[in-house]
Chain A
Amino acid sequence: MIYGVSYIAIVFFLFIVLMVLGLSFYFARKTKSASNYYAAGGQIHWATNGIAFAGDYLSAASFLGICGMIAMVGYDGFLYAVGFLAGWIVALFLVAEPMKRLGKYTFTDALNAKFKSRGITLVAAISTLVISIFYLIPQMVGAGALITPLLGFPHWVGVVLVGIIVIFIVATAGMTSTTYVQFIKGGLLIIFSTILTIYIFNNGLSLKPAIGDMEFPEYMVLDPEIEDGKIISVEGYTVQNQMEVKSIPIVKLQKGGVDRWFNLVDIDGVPKLVEMLSISENESGNKLYNGEPKENQKFYQVGHMSKIVVDGKEVDKTGPIGPFKFLSAIEGGELVRFSELKFKDNDLKVSVFYQNFTSGKDFLLPGLKYKIGKGSTPWDKIDFISLMLALFLGTAALPHILIRYYTVPSQRDARKSTILAIGAIGAFYILTLFMGLGAAVSGVFDVESSNMAAPLLARGFGIGIFSIISAIAFATILGTVSGLIIASSGAIAHDLIDNYMNKNQTDKQKVKAGKIAAFSVGILAIALGISFKGMNVSFLVGWAFAVAASANLPAILFILFWKKTTAKGVIASISTGIVTALGIILTSPTMWDRYGFDSADAIHRLENPAIISFTISVLVVYFVSLATQKDNIKRLKAES
C-alpha cells in the first residue's frame, strides 16, 4: 500500500510526540529529585490516577488491534474488547486486595514473599522476560503500522525508529513513565476516539463511501467467454492463467503488459469476472501491486456495504445516523470484505484479495475468525473457549499491571481509581466497536495490515484528527515499549545476574549490565517487530495474555488462597505454564504459516493455548505441592 505524505500531518505528529516526550523527561527529572516515584504517586488524586491507569492499559493492541480486527472480521474483534475488560474483574476482585494483604506489590515480590527461593527468582524472571517479549512484539508491529500511512515509510522503518528511540531513552536517561503523562495520553485517546466516532455517525453509511478527498473505486466486472468450463477469451484482455485456489476459481488476465487477477463468480446465473486486488512478489523480493509498481498507486483501500437496510427499506446512503441505527443498518445489510488467498504462480508468490460478500448478520456475530457456529469442528470451539479464558485470566497475571493500584494515598482511592479506569477503558472499548465497523464500511481498509484501520479512518476525516490520533498512539507505544524493555532488562540484570547468580557487582557494573540487557532486548524486539509484520496486534497480545495466564496466575492464586502451596509447586507450575503455552503457540497454524509452511499442515489446530496450558499449570502446582509437603513443614518450623 502506498500513501501520500502529508507534511501538515508530520508537523502535527512531531509536535505532539515531542510534547509527550518532553513531559516524560520533565516529570522524570522531577521524580528523580523526590525520595522515590511512589512517594510522588502518593499525592496523586484518584481521578487522575484512574485515567492514568487507562492510559497505561490502552496500548497499541487496544486502539490499533481491536479496531483493525473488527474492521476485518467483525464481532470476533470485539471479543477481545470484552475479554480485555473482563480481565480487570479478576485483577480487582481476586488478586489486588489479597496481594495487598500479603504486603507485596508485584508478582515477583508476591511469588517469593513466603519462600525466598532462588528457583522462584529464576522462573519468575524468565516468565517476566517471556511475557514482556510477547507484549513487545505487537507494540513494535503497531509502531510500523502507524508510520506507514503517516510518513510513507515502509513498515520496518517504523519498527527500527521506535526501537532506536526507546533504546536511546532507556540507555541514556532511563524513562520514568509518569502518572501525568499517562493521564494526558489516556485522556486524549478517549476524547479523540469519541470525536472520531461522532464523525462516523455524522458521515453515516453509503454504498459508495468516499470520505474526505478519497474517491470510491469502481470495481471492474468483465464478461468472459467460456467453453467446457474454461475461459477462452475476454474482450480487451489476453487470458494468461486460470486456476482454483481453495475451491475459488481465479483468472489472470493481461492488458497493456499489466497482469491483473479476477475472480470468476456467478451473478444472477451469468458468469462474470470480478476484479481482485493482487500483490505478486518475485524471487528477488520485488513486489507489484495490481500488476504495477507501488508508486503508480493502482492499489487501493477497500471495504464498503453492498446493501443497506434502514427501517426495512433498501437505501443507497443513510446520511447522519445514531449509534443504534448504525448497528441495525449494518446488521440488516451486506458488506464487501476482501479475503486473502495465497498461492504460487510459476516463480511468483501471489496474494490476491477477492470480494467476499458477507451478510451484516454474520458480521455482527462471532464466527468469521473463530468459527463456533454451523460447520465448526470441536477444535474450533475449544480454540474459542481458550481465547476467552486467556483474555479473562491474562490481565491480572501481567507482571506490571497492578503496580498503579498502590500509588494513591489510601485503599479507597486505589479502588475508586481502578473503577474509574474500568469505566474509562470500558467506554473506550465500546467506541472501538463503532470505529472498527466504521473502518469496515468506509472504504479505508488496507488489506495488507488490519492494524491501520482506525488511523486510516481518521485520515479520511481529516489530517488534523489523523495526526493527533496517530501521535497519541505512537507516544503510547513509546511509553509501553520503554516500560517493557526496562522490565525485561531488570529481570535479566537484577533478578537473574544479581539475585539468582549472586554476582557481587558494583553499582557501575549493575548499571552496565542493565544497559546491555536493555540494548539486547531492544534489538530482539526490532527483529521480532519486523518479522511479525501484518499480523493483527490484538491477536498477538492474546498470546501474551495466554502465556501470562498460564505461567503466573495459577502460582499466584495458589499462594494467595491455599496454605499448602510449596516453592517446588510454584517453580514447577510457572515452568510448565511457560513451556506448554510457548510450545502450543510455536506449533500453531498461524506460526506454521509464518515459517512458510501451509497452515493446514500444522501439527494441531489450536491458535490459543490457555485452555491446555493454564489447566496443566493448575494441576502441576496442586500435585507438586501435595507431593512436597515436607518442605512446607520444614519452612513453617524454621519460621516459628
Chain B
Amino acid sequence: MQHESAVELGVDLASKKKARLGVWFFFIYFFFYAGFVAIGVTNYELLGKKVIGEQNLAVVYGIGLIVFAVVLGIIYNWLCTRYEDALNKEETI
C-alpha cells in the first residue's frame, strides 16, 4: 500500500530537539506507570489504602495516570511549539 503525507512538512530544524524531549517525557511517564505496576506486585496492600477522600490508591493512581498522560501531552505540545518557533524562524513548517 502506498502511504503519503497530507502535506509536505518541509525542513524542521527542531526535530532532533523534539525527539530528545519525547524520549525524556516517555521516561517520566514510564517511571510513574512502572511505579503502579511495581506497587501492585511488591506491596499490594498499599493499593487498598485510602489516599484522597474515600478513594483508594488503586483508583486514584489509575485515574491519575490517565489525567497525567493528558497533562504531559499538553506540556509536550507547548514545549515543541516553542522549539519550532525558536529554531524554524525562517522555515515554514
Residues on A facing B (Cβ under 8 Å) = 36, 38-39, 41-42, 75, 78-79, 81-82, 85-86, 88-90, 92-94, 96-98, 100-101, 104-106, 108-109, 324-325, 327-328, 331-332, 361, 364-367, 372-374, 381, 384-385, 388, 392, 403, 406-412, 415-416, 418-419, 422-423, 426, 429-430, 433, 487, 490, 494-495
Contact = CB atoms under 8 A, between A and B. Distances in A.
Nearest to A103: B5
Contact of B19 (A98, A327, A366, A373): A98
A141 B45 CA distance: 36
B22 A366 contact: no
Nearest to A329: B54
Contact of A361 (B5, B12, B30, B48): B48
Contacts of B6: 38-39, 41-42, 406-409
A521 B45 CA distance: 46
A80 B59 CA distance: 13
Contacts of B19: 97-98, 101
A367 B77 CA distance: 36
A372 B44 contact: yes
Nearest to A44: B6
Contacts of A78: 62
B87 interface: no
A328 B55 contact: yes
B85 to A, nearest CB: 10
Interface of B: 1, 3-7, 9, 12, 15-16, 18-19, 22-23, 25-26, 29-30, 33, 36-37, 40-41, 44-45, 47-48, 53-56, 58-59, 62-63, 65-67, 69-70, 72-74, 76-77, 80-81, 84, 93
Contacts of A366: 40, 44, 47, 58
A365 B47 contact: yes
Contacts of A96: 22
A414 B34 CA distance: 28
A325 B55 CA distance: 9
Contact of A100 (B1, B4, B15, B81): B15
A97 B18 contact: yes
Contacts of A105: 3-5
Contacts of A89: 25-26, 29-30, 69, 72-73
Given A89-B69, A93-B26, A430-B63, 10 more contacts: A38-B4, A79-B62, A82-B65, A100-B15, A109-B3, A324-B53, A331-B54, A361-B56, A384-B37, A410-B7
A93 B72 CA distance: 10
B73 A418 contact: yes
B70 A419 contact: yes
20 contacts: A75-B59, A86-B65, A89-B25, A89-B72, A90-B26, A108-B1, A109-B3, A328-B53, A328-B55, A365-B44, A365-B47, A374-B44, A385-B37, A411-B9, A411-B84, A412-B93, A419-B73, A419-B77, A422-B70, A495-B1
B45 A373 contact: yes
A424 to B, nearest CB: 10
A372 B93 contact: no
Contact of A423 (B16, B37, B56, B70): B70
A364 B58 contact: yes
B41 A411 contact: no
Contacts of B25: 89, 93
A108 B5 CA distance: 15
A287 B47 CA distance: 42
Interface residue SS majority, chain A: helix
Contact of B48 (A88, A94, A101, A365): A365
A78 B59 CA distance: 9
Contacts of B54: 324-325, 327-328, 331-332
Contacts of B18: 97
A373 B37 CA distance: 12
Contacts of B62: 75, 78-79, 81-82, 433
A75 B55 CA distance: 13
B37 A365 contact: no
B69 A85 contact: yes
Contacts of B36: 82, 388
A96 B77 CA distance: 13
Contacts of A423: 70, 73
Contacts of A419: 70, 73-74, 76-77
A97 B69 contact: no
Contacts of A325: 54
Nearest to B5: A406
Contacts of A407: 6
A81 B56 CA distance: 17
Contacts of A75: 58-59, 62
A515 to B, nearest CB: 15
Closest 10 CB pairs of A and B: A328-B54, A42-B6, A93-B22, A373-B44, A38-B6, A419-B73, A93-B26, A426-B66, A381-B41, A490-B1
A92 B70 CA distance: 11
A388 B55 contact: no
Nearest to B93: A411
Contacts of B12: 101, 411
A412 B26 contact: no
A412 B93 CA distance: 9
A408 B9 CA distance: 10
Contacts of A82: 36, 62, 65-66
A130 to B, nearest CB: 17
A415 B29 CA distance: 18
Contacts of B9: 100, 410-411
A367 B44 contact: yes
B82 to A, nearest CB: 11
B41 A415 contact: no
A85 B65 contact: yes
Contacts of A106: 1, 3
A486 B15 CA distance: 33
Contacts of A418: 73
Contacts of B33: 86, 388, 392
B53 A494 contact: no
B76 A93 contact: yes
Contacts of B53: 324, 328
Contacts of B55: 324, 327-328, 331
Contacts of B40: 366, 372, 384
Contacts of B1: 106, 108, 487, 490, 494-495
Nearest to A74: B58
